[in-house]
Amino acid sequence: MLAFLYFVQMLINLPKMLVLSWNNMIFLPQQSPLEPPLSFRISTLPITNNPQLWATPLDLLQKINISICHHKKSVDWWRLDDQNLAENKNCSQIFELSSKKSHLVTVKIDGDEYSEVVNVPKKFWLAAIGDSFSSGQGNPNIEKTDGKPAEWLNEPCHRSTKAFPYLVSQKIPYSSLTFLSCSGATVENGILSKNGQLDSLESLISASGAPPDALFLTIGGNDIGFTDVISLIQRDKNIDDRFDMRFFFVSHQIDRVAWKLKELKIQRVVVMDYYDITKNENGKVDASCGAFGQVSLSNLQLAERKILQRLNTLIRRKAKEHGWIMVDTRELFRTRGICSRDSLIRSKNESLLIQGNEYGSFHPNQEAHRLISEEVLKTFRRIQVV
């Protein structure tokens, strides 16, 4: 009897049950929106168009801003590794982090602790070693004015922000530059000397835990003795066959630098031809403008052929032997030497006016460095360095 009554009750309520089931199928229960998962937002500081200069291991510390503000929660404190920042209850915090290792950042929010491993975003690290060609001699940051001397990025070495290594680094987003090139440097006195350019670079590599992404190298000009060449031809001395032993010596010096760079595990070494100062707008060796003093045309032609061409041939051969990246700048200077109507070379008078001395004479001018930087970037893009 009870079973019969239960069956009748089900039949009576069946329409209501069907309607309720249909409504539940169409209209899902309202749910509160899920909160976003807890996470940090990280940005680097400062954001500028200029490369960060890495000269000492302390320069490798990078400032980043870590924020939790988007969660709109109350912050109790921040901690970096084992260092408590108890006084800071802001929803964001600026940290100085080493690029060598990961860091554990912890924040206490509404009584709960949240930790995340933070790696400093990797920068594209450029380094420059060598002589006045890459230091930017002849092109001070701020030119000399009445009563005020010229200003440099580094005065003793005549390093300039107008030099091609600095300009290249400016064009590569999120880059750093170790600028060690120095006017007058040779392999023996500057590049490989104790506390020299490669010693400084080695300490940075040790601090960062990795070598630079690319290294600019200008080498050989001071080792072969360009100053001696100019002096000899100005005194009308025959330079033919006087430099054979010097070229043998320079070849060995370049190899010594190459061995050290391999020891430092630097994979990308970027070299280029030395600039040709001898050609006029027609591509001919020209001594008629007075820039070379009383040098005869025949002696200047001899110097161009026996010294400049021979040195550049040596550099290209060594680049091939050691797997270096060669940037071809020959076309830039082919018709734009010091006697050209459209010269890319600093004259003595320009050097006196711009930097207050003669040291900038016979060096690439600001426009030349800009054009060289463009050739470097073209090469980088072609071989997918950046």
Please give the DSSP secondary-structure letter assigned to residue 159.
B
CA distances from 208 to 69, 125, 211 (A): 31, 10, 8
Dist CA 205 CA 213 (whole Å): 11
pLDDT given for residue 234 in this prediction: 63
Q: 324, 257 in Cβ contact below 8 A? A: no
178 SS3 class: strand
CATH for the 124-382 domain, from 3.30.530.20, 3.40.50.1110, 3.90.79.10, 1.20.1630.10: 3.40.50.1110
Closest of 128, 129, 153 to residue 139, by C-alpha? 153
Hunting for tokens 């360095």 — which residue is that?
385
CA distances from 345 to 354, 364, 373 (A): 13, 5, 16
Dist CA 88 CA 105 (whole Å): 14
Q: Which two tokens stand for residue 117?
A: 């491993």
Total-model pTM: 0.82
Q: Which residues, at least 6 apart from 328, have a Cβ–Cβ distance to it below 8 Å?
A: 272, 273, 375
Per-residue pLDDT of the chain (386 residues; tens, 9 = 90+): 544 444 445 445 545 554 445 444 444 444 444 445 667 777 766 555 678 899 998 888 877 788 877 777 778 787 888 777 666 677 777 877 776 677 888 888 877 787 878 777 788 999 999 999 999 999 999 999 988 999 999 999 999 999 999 999 999 988 999 999 999 999 999 999 999 999 999 999 999 889 999 999 999 999 997 667 666 666 656 666 677 888 999 999 999 999 999 999 999 999 999 999 999 999 999 999 999 888 889 888 988 988 899 999 999 999 999 999 999 999 999 999 999 999 999 999 999 999 999 999 999 999 999 999 999 999 999 999 87
For residue 36, whether the previous peptide bond is cis, meaning omega lies within 30 degrees of 0, is no
pLDDT given for residue 5 in this prediction: 45
Please give the DSSP secondary-structure letter assigned to residue 301.
H
Domain map (residue ranges) of the chain: 41-50+60-118, 124-382
pLDDT given for residue 18 in this prediction: 46
Question: Which spans in the chain are helix H?
Answer: 2-26, 132-135, 164-171, 197-208, 221-224, 226-234, 244-263, 297-303, 309-322, 330-333, 348-355, 366-382
Dist CA 214 CA 371 (whole Å): 19
For the beta sheet containing 112-118, the strands, ordered from the edge strand earlier in sequence to the opposite edge, are 83-85, 75-80, 103-109, 112-118
Task: Assign a CATH topology to domain 41-50+60-118.
Answer: Immunoglobulin-like (2.60.40)
Ramachandran angles phi, psi of 300, nearest 5°:
-65, -40
